[in-house]
Copies of this chain bind each other. A is one copy, B any other.
Amino acid sequence: MKLTPLINSSEGLERSGPSISLIGMERKIPLYKQIHSAIKQRIQSGELKAGDPIDSERVVAKHYGVSLMTARHALKELELEGLVLRRPAVGTLVAPPRIQFNKLISFSEQMASRGLAVHSKILALVVTKKEDEVSSRLSLPCGSTLIKLERLRFGDNDPFAIEVTYFAQKDLSKNRAETLNRRSLFGLFENELQRKLAYADEEVDATAADPRTAKFLKIPQGAPILRIRQILYTAGPQPIAFSRGLYRSDRHSFVIRRFR
């Protein structure tokens, strides 16, 4: 297996010129990352399954024609990613699939994971300037122009939640937002706008359903509901969206794992 080298410190290795790289003709990718990617792909493609032994450091080194430290570096990265377990005197094994905790997923993804069909009804979609509390949560100056989107969200045709989402108009045009009755907001950000979501801060409390909420969610007025406020971030300190959701507490459970 040939790699595209980052440097050419040794003389005998014929690594420059028209070499066959692992990922097309990419250069400047460190050797250890190329090896890392190659093995990662073999794991994720299902070729290697949980518990299977990976090639040892020495085998990897010989296979790709790199030094032991470089092969080691690649395997170390896999271990840090949690894809692999390394056990002295035994070898490197494919790790069992991780259960991810506290993962940021959209309403659509949550429903899908429970096998429910999702759809949304847009209750309101307006441009507003006078939501200063929201502006401050989005780290924007008071009086900023915001798009406000209110949706009633269904799982298998039962109402689950009312969600109000705000974003800066520069991030999202109003007519883009109009498609959100059938599209996921996360999908819009990640796929169409190419904005990589990083994390969200969420605050949960309990409140009572007001008449309008009760009507939409088909629950008695005054019934306890879960209120979740969420600030969504991409990489960097600038939030991209703020949302406030009212969830039927009989349908929605909020689960997290905390570590000591």
Contact = CB atoms under 8 A, between A and B. Distances in A.
Contacts of A90: none
A interface, size bucket: 20 to 34
Tell me what chain A mostly uses at the interface: helix, strand, loop, or mixed. Answer: strand
B207 A224 contact: yes
A142 to B, nearest CB: 24
Contacts of A203: 253-255
A260 interface: yes
A252 to B, nearest CB: 7
Interface string A207-232: 11000000000000011111000000
Interface of A: 69, 80, 102-104, 196-208, 222-226, 249, 252-260
20 contacts: A102-B102, A102-B259, A196-B260, A197-B260, A199-B258, A201-B257, A202-B255, A202-B256, A202-B257, A204-B204, A204-B256, A205-B252, A205-B253, A205-B254, A206-B206, A206-B224, A206-B249, A208-B224, A224-B225, A256-B258
